[in-house]
Amino acid sequence: MTKPRHLSIEFLLNRPADCVEIRYTTKENFEVYLHKNVVEVGLKADMTPEAFREAHKKVGAFLRDKKVAHVHLPEIKGALQEQLFALFEGNYCFDRYISQKSVFLSKIYLEALPSNIKEIETILDAQFMMRELLSTPYKDRNVADFVAYAKELLAPLKGVQLEVHDHKWLLKEGMELHYAVGKGSLETDPPQLLVIEYRGGAQDEPFIGLVGKGMVFDTGGYSLKPSDSMIEMHGDCAGAVMYLHLVYMLDKLGIKKNVAVALPVADNSISSRALRLSDIVIGRSKKSVEITNTDAEGRLILADSVAYLADTMKLNCIITAATLTGAVIIALGKRMAGLFSENSKLKMALLESSERAHEPLWTLPFDKNSFMDLLKSDVADMKNAGKKEASATQGAVFIYQHLNKDIPFAHLDIAGTTMEKSLGTSYGLKLMLDFIRTWKNL
């Protein structure tokens, strides 16, 4: 079983004489090299903030390659926090299955400790754990493993309540879309639902609702993916992995908000039980769905969880996060995620958090009514997938159709931002932490 692996890091003062020192100089182009106990970093004088962060990612990778664990880091351009986040992002390497283990940064000596150093440590720890879990292949992180990991991660947290529901409960609660996606693995790795409550706000304060897609592996089902498209599909649970570690941060930082999280977890392997094209399934919302593509499975498990949270919790908004469509990568590439919402206040709040966190979002078209003609079915209330046009929007609209209450809704399609060559990123953690901190109830 995969267990939480915390980042080991200390931020200290009074560096020892033999500590490797980072020195900055002004150069025409970025360069970095090691000379004795000094890492010389050449930066352009007029670097953009993005170039500044990219340079520090390269420095982090350089330090790992040189097996440097302890460094003295001077603050430059008043951007120490950005230096640290970028440095550790570049320093990370997933080495669980590599015989020669990496040497990560473990001691950073600073001229002065920032007032929010504990927060920085907590975020770095959560980012590290998120990348570790997301990079782990299915053989060591199936549905049961994911649930066990979540229990171990959250058990010490006093402000968090976790409920785990099995496949029988899903059927009992009418969550047959989620059940149907995972029933191909019913005998080996059945689907489960994690419901998490974080209570940091007032007793009567409504919850911010979060739903994260937790496909621990996505074969595509009978609409089988080609090999090239399947190689990164252990990362199809990025929405759930991100929200799980977000809860960890909320509790560690004592954030004064109430947050309710639903993490539908499943594997959609093919078997005689598996969901088939032309099947018609009725979900928690009581709406029927004609299955026209078993590879459009993420929206099915999200739809049931959105309906469940709205039915059972008092929510002031609901935000889904999912590696939902390849179409969003075609539209936006791999540097930003797609944002879908009709609620102007919620949309603006997420965009502002995105900018502050340096985790880019871009608004894509979303209209819950005009796009529904693309999902029109002759035999059910809707299809789960239409033709190719506006297919990223189709996914968002489909999920929204299962929200039976008038609650501000947003969907984040993070398909392009969460994996790099089969390795997980930590995209979304800082964005959503900032959003929860700053969100005002409508």
Q: Could you report the per-residue pLDDT of 114-124, keeping only the tens digit for each?
A: 999 999 999 99
Determine the pLDDT at residue 370.
79
Whole-angstrom distance, CA of residue 414 vs CA of residue 210: 14
The amino acid present at 215, given as its one-letter code, is: M
Query: Can you give the pTM of this predicted structure?
Result: 0.97
Residue 82 Cα to chain centre, angstroms: 20
Query: Cα-flanking dihedrals φ and ψ of residue 220, to 5°?
Result: 95, -10
Provide the 3-class DSSP secondary structure of residue 88. Answer: helix
CB 261 within 8 Å of CB 312 = no
Q: 295-331: buried (b, 16+ CB within 10 Å) or exposed (e) per residue?
A: bbbbbbbbbbbbbbbbeebebbbbbbbbbbbebbbeb
Candidates 44, 58, 107, 225; catalytic one = 225
Determine the pLDDT at residue 1.
64
The CATH class, in words, for 10-114 is: alpha beta
CB 133 within 8 Å of CB 7 = no
CB 24 within 8 Å of CB 52 = no
Whole-angstrom distance, CA of residue 192 vs CA of residue 212: 13
Q: Is 225 a catalytic residue?
A: yes
Domain coordinates in residue numbering, the chain: 10-114, 136-438
Which sign, positive or negative, has the C-alpha torsion 274, 279, 283, 289? positive
Under CATH, which number does the domain 136-438 receive?
Answer: 3.40.630.10
Candidates 131, 257, 284, 299; catalytic one = 299
Q: Is 64 a catalytic residue?
A: no
Backbone φ/ψ region at 221: left (φ over 0), alpha (ψ -120 to 50), beta: left
The reply to whether 136-438 shares the fold of 10-114 is no
Whole-angstrom distance, CA of residue 153 vs CA of residue 284: 29
Closest CA to 97 of 141, 158, 162, 43: 141
Determine the pLDDT at residue 369.
81
Determine the pLDDT at residue 421.
87
Q: Which stretches of the chain drop beneath a pLDDT of 50?
A: none
Whole-angstrom distance, CA of residue 244 vs CA of residue 196: 9
- Burial label for 129, CB within 10 Å (0-12, 13-18, 19+), is buried
Whole-angstrom distance, CA of residue 148 vs CA of residue 159: 19
